[in-house]
Amino acid sequence: MVKRNVKRKKRRLNFKKMFFCFAFLFLFISLIKIIINMPIKNIYIYNNQILTDQQIIELAKLENYPSTLKSLSVIIKSRLEKNEYIEEVNVLKKKLSEVHIEVKENYPIFMNRISNKTILLDGREVEEKFPVPTLINIVPDTKYDIFLEKMKLLDREILYRISEIEYNPNDVESNRFLFYMNDGNYVYIVLDKFPSINSYVDIIKNFENKKGILYLDYGNHFTIIDN
């Protein structure tokens, strides 16, 4: 048998292709690093009244405008919801560099003069004082929890219109309260009808700025006491 010499061709490295591959890989990694380290440029905060924008930014640990990808929405949300004045937070990121924070506050609903503490929406008590109604006397334990739940149903704008709340039962109704309004009017109301005070502004318009007593405990009538 005749042996044939087979010549194997040596493959040369294609340096041009390797250069483009390494260049592409370098640019890709650089781009990823730029995106990862891209700082937050704008922070938008909505629906906060108790805490200032700056306080929320500091609670979220965004005051130094860190990397947007390193500051995950779930982490921001967790940090903020630890605060006693925040019930819930929705965090949304836009355009990589924008953070939108929508706050649902655990706001104060009244101050208890007996304990000298402010009651928040979730029932917690805090030492800080706010311009909210003051409960001026003792509500029996059997009715206090119901009173608290009914107070949660009042619109926030209406709370600012009430100066004081007095537990004021009579021989007929043990669930009766008296609201002292900031405009000089008085409102008698029972626990079951607490939400009706949310229509206070519309009701009072019918009496041409006269001062008096609004009875929401039995019906819906107004007695003028203004001379």
Statement: residue 7 has pLDDT above 70: no
Residues 6+ apart with CB under 8 A from 83: 51, 59
Which tens digits make up the pLDDT trace of 90-126?
Answer: 999 988 789 999 999 999 999 999 999 999 999 999 9
Q: What is the mean pLDDT of residues 62-85?
A: 91
What's the whole-number average pLDDT of the chain? 88
Residue 26, pLDDT score:
63
Q: In what side-by-side order are the strands of the sheet with 86-94?
A: 42-46, 98-105, 86-94
- For position 224, what pLDDT does the model report? 85
Confidence of residue 32 (pLDDT cuts 50, 70, 90): low
pLDDT value, residue 124 = 95
pLDDT band at 208 (very low <50, low <70, confident <90, very high): confident
pTM: predicted TM-score of the whole model, two decimal places: 0.79
CATH class of 42-105: alpha beta
Tokens at 196, concatenated: 């009706």
pLDDT of 130-144, one tens digit each? Answer: 999 999 999 999 999
Look at domain 108-224 and name its CATH class: alpha beta
Q: What Cα–Cα distance (Å) separates residue 32 from each residue in 35, 36, 47, 66, 73?
A: 5, 6, 35, 16, 20
158-181, pLDDT tens digit by residue?
A: 999 999 999 999 988 999 999 999
Annotated domain spans of the chain = 42-105, 108-224
| Residue 185 C-beta-side C-alpha neighbours within 13 Å | 25
With a cut of 80, say whether residue 219 has pLDDT above it: no
Q: Is the pLDDT of residue 28 over 80?
A: no
28 Cβ contact partners less than 8 Å away, ≥ 6 residues apart: none
